[in-house]
Amino acid sequence: MKTLLSLLTASALAVLATAKGSPISLSVKPERDLLLAGPRDAIIQIELRARDSDRKRTTPINLAVVLDRSGSMAGAKLEKAKQAAGVALDQLGENDFFSLVVYDDKVEVLIPPQKVRDKEDLKRKINHIKEGGSTALYAGVKKGAAQLRKYFDSEKVNRMILLSDGIANVGPSSPSRIAKLGKELRQEGMGVSTIGLGEDYNEDLMTALAEASHANYYYVQDAEKLPGIFTEELGTVKSIVARNVKVIITLPKGVKPRGILGEDGIAFNGQTVTIPLSEFYGSQTRRFLLSCDAPDDKAAELTLAQVELSYEDATSGEAIRENQTASAKQSSDAKLVEASVKADVASHAAITQNRLAKEQAVKLADAGKSKDAADLLMRQAAANAALPASVQSPLLQKEDSELRSKAEELKNNGSFSKTSRKEFQYQNYQDKNQKR
């Protein structure tokens, strides 16, 4: 009762803090209120939810746009890309910095970094961009980073937007090499949001760069949507509410960590793991699923995890720290245990398992094992269907239908189409970053 009361008090304080305008609220809860007596596994959801950004923006933006002007961009693609760059300019103020790099087999700094003063002059320069030859994507990103460094400031939002419609065929082109570059830029305080246009770009490369640099990835089939994507991206980075966000999870003695479900890059060091999230934006939500083995303990209630959230308020600069505890009672009644499931946590776990199945199915299909990939997707759909009625949702039902549809595609065609593969990758990115 004492632990339950402390949990209720922590929740009430979190609600009160949010009402007073704290940038981020923290919620920590197990998948079930009851665990079967004896050794068993447990899942705990850690949710961070940012308040709406309703204040006038004060954080300056240091933006570098890196545009692919290779031969495949000729025509409507390049025209819409230029229009989108102009849309980005329109959203910047006089204290923001803008630069623009174009690349084909060579890289050119078309607009060196500068404060946004004469937008019409900058747009005229953008409108003069012509298509060229091959695709030196890696060099384009490196050059874009060099522009950001010239006016880099940790108090600014330092962001690059990369757009490409083709395969990187000049210079380094492997996803692992590109991801390494993204990680290096993130460590410097820069993020690279990537936009893949059409059906011929390398989605593995574009997602790797965005994820490694803690930025965004967009899959755009229709060039007409490019201006809207630039609007969405700039709208996000203008609403920063917290910086240096970190989540520290500590497990008590006897509770064994299995890991963070679906997050291979986040590893425990003994009983503790730190999740660095850098900036947090208005209305942003991030959820993490801690998987652990609970001990065979005779206590009526078990403490499963201690969670600490720390960050800096982007408006006041105040350092904020919050702690919450996850615990569960024990029962020998399997029906009561099953009835204690929290539908939102179980649904999030199912969506995560779907993502992992889709990622594995892509790998199997790429390796020529289309039957194994199809069987995997069908098993995952069956697992979703077997979940309790309280966990079912329109999103899960939609995913079930898609899993079965993609399995049929594999059985009939022996591989994924370019569109299907990109759709899977894009959905996986969105699910991992809670954007759906």
Mean pLDDT across the stretch 296-310?
89
3-class state of residue 409 by DSSP: helix
Q: Are residues 233 and 248 in the same domain?
A: no
Contacting residues for 309 by C-beta, under 8 A, at least 6 apart: 24, 26, 48, 245, 246, 247, 321, 322, 323, 324
Indicate if the pLDDT at residue 308 is higher than 70: yes
In whole angstroms, what is the distance from residue 406 CA to residue 362 CA? 11
In a domain, 337, yes or no: no
In whole angstroms, what is the distance from residue 137 CA to residue 151 CA? 23
Q: Are residues 75 and 148 in the same domain?
A: yes
- Band (pLDDT 50/70/90 cuts) for residue 413 is very high
Q: Are residues 223 and 323 in the same domain?
A: no
pTM: 0.86
Q: What is the pLDDT of residues 207-256, one digit of tens each?
A: 999 999 989 999 999 999 999 999 989 888 888 889 899 999 999 999 99
Indicate if the pLDDT at residue 101 is higher than 60: yes
Mean pLDDT across the stretch 314-343?
91
For residue 15, the model assigns a pLDDT of 40
In a domain, 338, yes or no: no
Mean pLDDT of the chain: 89
Indicate if the pLDDT at residue 436 is higher than 50: yes
Q: Are residues 102 and 180 in the same domain?
A: yes
Q: What is the pLDDT of residues 43-95, one digit of tens each?
A: 999 999 998 866 566 678 999 999 999 999 999 999 999 999 999 999 999 99
Of all residues in the chain, the percent with pLDDT exceeding 70 is 93
Q: Are residues 233 and 244 in the same domain?
A: no
Q: Are residues 222 and 148 in the same domain?
A: yes
Contacting residues for 422 by C-beta, under 8 A, at least 6 apart: 196, 199, 203, 219
In whole angstroms, what is the distance from residue 436 CA to residue 427 CA? 8
Domain ranges, residue 383: 343-432
Sheet holding 97-103, edge to edge: 107-115, 97-103, 61-68, 157-164, 191-197, 217-220
One-letter amino acid of 113: P
Q: Are residues 162 and 194 in the same domain?
A: yes
